[in-house]
Amino acid sequence: MKTRNKLNKKDLNYFKQLILKRKEELMEGLKHSLEDTLKKSPREAAGDISGYAFHMADLATDTYDREFSLDLASNERQLIYEIDEALKKIQEGNYGNCEQCKSPISKTRLKAIPYTRLCLKCQEAQEKR
């Protein structure tokens, strides 16, 4: 078994703050996306509040835009879940170790993706599959 990551309290606090900041940004973006997407009818989203009928192409474009926004919101919710898991690991003292090989994840990788679950080697192997 490989050694555990020896992140000190200063490092853990740094990564915790980094993760919390990212979560706040995602939550704010998610809030705005959902407000814009769900609280408006397709007619309002297009800026049309008149009583005239929609053209089918406009309706299809609006539907595509709405579905695209909802997909983005779903991705943001998944990232928020990953962030919450990283915060839980900090709390439990397991933060910074790869879930597959158990080796420490480099600080450089953690700075780039503070909620990552895998070291670079395991991530690359997973992406090849």
Query: What CATH number does the domain containing 49 carry?
Result: 1.20.120.910
pLDDT in tens, 21-71: 999 998 888 787 767 666 655 555 555 555 455 566 666 776 677 677 667
| Domain contains 4 | no
Question: Whole-angstrom Cα distance, residue 41 to residue 61?
Answer: 13
Give the total number of structural domains in the chain. Answer: 1
Q: Which structural domain range is residue 48 located in? A: 9-128
In a domain, 24, yes or no: yes
Burial 41-68 (b: 16+ CB within 10 A, else e): eebeeeeeeeeeeeeeeeeeebeeebee
In a domain? residue 1:
no
Contacts for 84 with CB less than 8 Å, ≥ 6 apart: 23
Give pairs for 30-33: CB < 8 Å, separation 24+. Answer: 30/73, 30/76, 30/77, 30/80, 33/69, 33/72, 33/73, 33/76
Domain membership of residue 19 (yes or no) is: yes
Query: Does residue 87 lie within any of the structural domains?
Result: yes
Above 80 in pLDDT, residue 103? yes
Residue with tokens 């597959």: 100
Per-residue pLDDT band for 72 (boundaries 50, 70, 90) equals confident
